[in-house]
Amino acid sequence: MKMRKERFALWFLGSIMALFIMSCGGSPESEEENDETPVMEVTEEDDPADNEFLYALPSHLQIASIFRRSGLEYIPNLTNDPNNADNYNTKFMQKLNFGVYATDLAYCALNEKNQASIDYMTVLGKLSENLWMTNVFKSVSILNRFENNMGNSDSLGYIIADFQMEMDDYLEANGLSANSLVIFAGAWIESMHLAFNSVHANHNPQLVSRLIEQKKIAGNLIEILGAEDEDAELDILLGHLKKISSHFDSYDIENIDNEEDLYNLSMTEEQVSAALADVEAARTFIING
């Protein structure tokens, strides 16, 4: 069961990265000249009862749709400085910030911040060496492909999806799949940081409702990470995740089955500010190492 959870978390991180890229539209031609959306499969390797943990996690296409329609705006200076990568000395912090930088890469790429995108891809390569994932970057020539397709958001989506699947397979084959859960946590917190700052700057009701919908992911992430072996850094991360999740406690997400009802959910500016404060505290814990 644990392996399936880790594989799904890594697939889900790929979804986050790809959806950011795809949300901005892009040019009509892609690197592979393929019209199909990159698909990442979740394998059925264990007992059917193990599917229970999936109950509140949206699918790849649902996630892509969320961000395409959400109105997420680019705000300068929100991403983590690539130079901070040298400050992360523990494997746990390197994993978390790998997730952070993966989200920052996508955020910059969709907004055509080309040099920043290359900087983030480079820093992911540096962290991959620390996390024993160097062969993934080499096997798909990720940096060269990324540089050659700057400005073509469709191609970048395929490249990122390709890289994510290669990383998934590599981690599993080398007994490193436990990395994926922590990487995903970093990516999710960074995506919340970007989205809540966007809402705080410009109160977009549709984006607010999509943030409330993150209650599903937060609850499952807490549950899955909580089943891992005890660790001081993990305990701190879980504490931050529980604080973020608490801002969604009063919302009955489980019984919402259409977008109209979802869009009726709202947060006041004071509630947004309170949630943002806890998101920022979690992110500060991560990026300060």
Q: Is the pLDDT of residue 259 over 90?
A: no
Average pLDDT in the 28-44 region?
A: 39
Are 184 and 9 contacting, i.e. CB atoms less than 8 angstroms apart?
yes
Structural domain includes residue 252: yes
Predicted TM-score (pTM) of the model is: 0.80
- Please, which pLDDT band fits residue 200 given cuts at 50, 70 and 90? very high
* Amino acid (one-letter) located at 286: I
How many residues are present in the chain? 289
Residues 100-145 pLDDT 10s: 998 888 788 777 788 898 899 889 888 988 887 777 766 667 778 8
- Please, which pLDDT band fits residue 36 given cuts at 50, 70 and 90? very low
The most confident of 20-29, 33-42, 208-217, by mean pLDDT = 208-217
Q: Is the pLDDT of residue 286 over 70?
A: yes
Tell me what pLDDT residue 16 has: 53
Least confident of 17-21, 198-202, 269-273: 17-21
Q: Which two tokens stand for residue 238?
A: 């879980």
Tell me what pLDDT residue 93 has: 96
- Please, which pLDDT band fits residue 180 given cuts at 50, 70 and 90? confident
Q: Is the pLDDT of residue 212 over 60?
A: yes
Structural domain includes residue 42: no
**Segments forming the whole domain that contains residue 202:** 2-24+58-63+81-287
Tell me what pLDDT residue 24 has: 46
Structural domain includes residue 121: yes
Give the chain's mean pLDDT: 76
Tell me what pLDDT residue 216 has: 86
- Please, which pLDDT band fits residue 96 given cuts at 50, 70 and 90? very high
Distances (CA, A) of 113 to 10, 103, 117, 150, 270: 25, 14, 6, 9, 32
Q: Is the pLDDT of residue 39 over 90?
A: no
Distance of CA 4 to the CA centre of its chain: 18
Tell me what pLDDT residue 178 has: 67
* Amino acid (one-letter) located at 266: S
Closest to 3 measured CA to CA, from 175, 162, 133: 175
Structural domain includes residue 43: no
Are 10 and 161 contacting, i.e. CB atoms less than 8 angstroms apart?
no
Per the rule left: phi > 0, alpha: psi between -120 and 50, beta: everything else, 113 is: beta
* Amino acid (one-letter) located at 1: M
Half-sphere exposure of residue 17, counting CA atoms within 13 Å on the CB side? 35
Q: Is the pLDDT of residue 41 over 50?
A: no
Tell me what pLDDT residue 4 has: 47
Structural domain includes residue 86: yes
Structural domain includes residue 70: no
Give the DSSP letter string of 127-164. HHHHTT-HHHHHHTTHHHHHHHTTT-HHHHHHHHHHHH
Tell me what pLDDT residue 66 has: 59
Structural domain includes residue 165: yes
Number of structural domains (the chain) is: 1
Least confident of 84-88, 127-131, 204-208, 279-283: 127-131
Tell me what pLDDT residue 125 has: 85
- In whole angstroms, give the CA distance from residue 263 to residue 23: 19
- In whole angstroms, give the CA distance from residue 274 to residue 276: 5
Structural domain includes residue 71: no
